[in-house]
């Protein structure tokens, strides 16, 4: 029997210097928080928690006082039940968001530990565990290049050159930000980018919840619809009627990134308010929650996995996408690239011949990667 004997938390800080921004935030220091579980059989499992552009102190304290004490000594096969118990208590503690972030790291670490113990790559272990919901063959998801933020002194010419560089890396689907300027100005930016890309390259535009329904529709109608693959987060995450109205008008809505509320995700699915249900595995509750949503999602709605942190989150998302035919695409971020270089993660790892990229993580047991120890700072260990 596998019993969790140690709970470790590490952090990493990436200093982005406030040089780029989207309509909601200017990126300064971005932290990553990792959970590493160890069991009595010598296995380890790695997970990552959602952590935004602020210090991770509250999340680390929550992991230390509320999560680690109930994990150490627990049978690894019973961790899901522990998570359900914590979620049921969250109605009283009012810590749903913190719990979703913290538990994402634990859940991912649990899957990594168990798949390593089974000597299977994570995507194959997922398929073995969920044979009824998951395709028996490997899925072929799309990977999209994510960039196109606003920057000081950044011209439309600079933006076009940036997005063209993504296409040259092999991406036929790319994403850029909108919503930081007027509707007309952003329409001009998008049209310029599309004119600079080949006709076969599609675009996702990300409004970061910044538009009214009327303004989102006004922007979309100035663009060639056949080139716009999705309009991410055009209105507030809670505006179900607004997203429904946009979908009814033909807008391919994608939402809602780091949203963790299960009732809202279910409403988005069952009301047809999105074309793509977007989620971050490290924010939504981990691998288990993504698989639950894949089973719940309607035939006309696919999943899209958000990644804007580290190579750990990216590789977890890719394993999930390989395992489930309900996952349409995964984000490859060109701003948030922690550990990409040290772990030899690059577009060829996913888009080209993997043997030429130097990284074979999808063939190794578990997630297939491990952060380099000097690059992460130990915060606490229990057990």
32 and 154 together in one domain: no
Contact present, 253 and 280 (Cβ < 8 Å): no
In a domain, 355, yes or no: yes
Domain that holds residue 344: 129-363
341 and 211 together in one domain: yes
**What pLDDT score does 53 carry?**
62
In a domain, 281, yes or no: yes
In a domain, 289, yes or no: yes
157 and 84 together in one domain: no
Please tell me the pTM assigned to this model.
0.93
CA distance 172 to 201: 4
89 and 155 together in one domain: no
Q: How many domains does the chain have?
A: 2
In a domain, 180, yes or no: yes
Q: For position 63, which CATH number holds?
A: 3.30.390.10
Distances (CA, A) of 118 to 42, 101, 287: 13, 26, 17
**What pLDDT score does 370 carry?**
79
Task: Show the tokens assigned to 357.
Answer: 């990229």
Rg (CA), the chain: 20
11 and 78 together in one domain: yes
Q: Helix (H) and strand (E) counts for the chain? A: 15, 14
152 and 87 together in one domain: no
Neighbours of 266 (CB within 10 A): 14
178 and 305 together in one domain: yes
96 and 176 together in one domain: no
Cα dihedral 318, 322, 326, 329 sign: positive
Contact present, 365 and 121 (Cβ < 8 Å): yes
In a domain, 124, yes or no: no
Q: For position 135, which CATH number holds?
A: 3.20.20.120
DSSP assignments along 332-354, one per residue: EESS--BTTTTTT--HHHHHS-H
**What pLDDT score does 156 carry?**
96
Closest to 286 measured CA to CA, from 103, 125, 116 = 103
Q: What is the pLDDT along the chain (383 residues), one digit of tens a residue?
A: 799 999 999 998 877 656 665 665 665 678 899 999 999 999 999 999 998 667 899 999 999 999 999 999 999 888 888 888 888 887 777 788 899 999 999 999 999 999 999 999 999 999 988 764 555 567 889 999 999 988 888 999 999 999 999 999 999 999 999 999 999 999 999 999 999 999 999 999 999 999 999 999 999 999 999 999 999 999 999 899 999 999 999 999 999 888 888 899 999 999 999 999 999 999 999 999 999 999 999 999 999 999 988 999 999 999 999 999 999 999 999 988 889 888 888 898 888 654 444 458 888 999 998 766 556 788 999 98
Judged on CB neighbours under 10 Å (0-12, 13-18, 19+), 93 is exposed
């Amino acid at each position: 029997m596998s019993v969790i004997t140690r709970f470790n938390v590490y952090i990493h800080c990436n200093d982005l210097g406030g040089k780029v921004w989207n309509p909601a935030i200017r990126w300064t220091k971005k932290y990553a928080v990792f959970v590493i579980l160890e069991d009595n059989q010598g296995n380890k499992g790695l997970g990552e928690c959602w952590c935004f552009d602020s210090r991770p102190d509250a999340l680390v304290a929550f992991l230390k006082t509320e999560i680690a004490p109930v994990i150490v000594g627990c049978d690894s096969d019973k961790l899901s039940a522990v998570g359900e118990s914590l979620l049921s208590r969250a109605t009283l503690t009012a810590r749903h968001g913190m719990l979703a972030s913290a538990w994402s790291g634990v859940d991912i670490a649990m899957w990594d530990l168990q798949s390593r113990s089974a000597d299977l790559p994570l995507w194959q272990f997922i398929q073995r565990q969920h044979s009824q919901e998951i395709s028996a063959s490997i899925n072929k998801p799309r990977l999209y290049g994510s960039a196109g933020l606003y920057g000081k002194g950044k011209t439309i010419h600079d933006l076009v050159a940036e997005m063209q560089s993504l296409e040259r890396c092999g991406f036929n689907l790319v994403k850029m930000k909108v919503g930081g300027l007027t509707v007309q100005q952003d329409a001009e930016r998008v049209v310029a980018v599309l004119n600079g890309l080949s006709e076969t390259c599609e675009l996702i535009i990300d409004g970061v919840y910044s538009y009214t329904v009327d303004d989102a529709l006004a922007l979309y109608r100035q663009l060639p619809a056949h080139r716009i693959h999705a309009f991410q987060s055009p209105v507030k995450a809670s505006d179900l009627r607004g997203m429904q109205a946009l979908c009814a008008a033909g807008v391919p809505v994608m939402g809602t990134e780091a949203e963790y509320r299960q009732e809202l995700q279910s409403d988005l699915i069952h009301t047809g308010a999105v074309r793509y249900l977007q989620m971050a595995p490290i924010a939504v509750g981990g691998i288990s929650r993504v698989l639950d949503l894949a089973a719940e999602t309607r035939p006309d709605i696919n999943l899209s996995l958000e990644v804007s942190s580290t190579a750990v989150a990216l590789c977890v998302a890719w394993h999930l996408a390989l395992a489930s035919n309900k996952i349409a695409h995964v984000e490859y971020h060109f701003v948030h690239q922690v550990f990409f270089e040290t772990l030899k993660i690059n577009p060829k790892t996913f888009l080209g011949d993997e043997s030429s990229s130097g990284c074979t993580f999808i063939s190794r047991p578990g997630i297939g990667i491990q952060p380099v120890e000097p690059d992460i700072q130990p915060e606490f260990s229990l057990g």
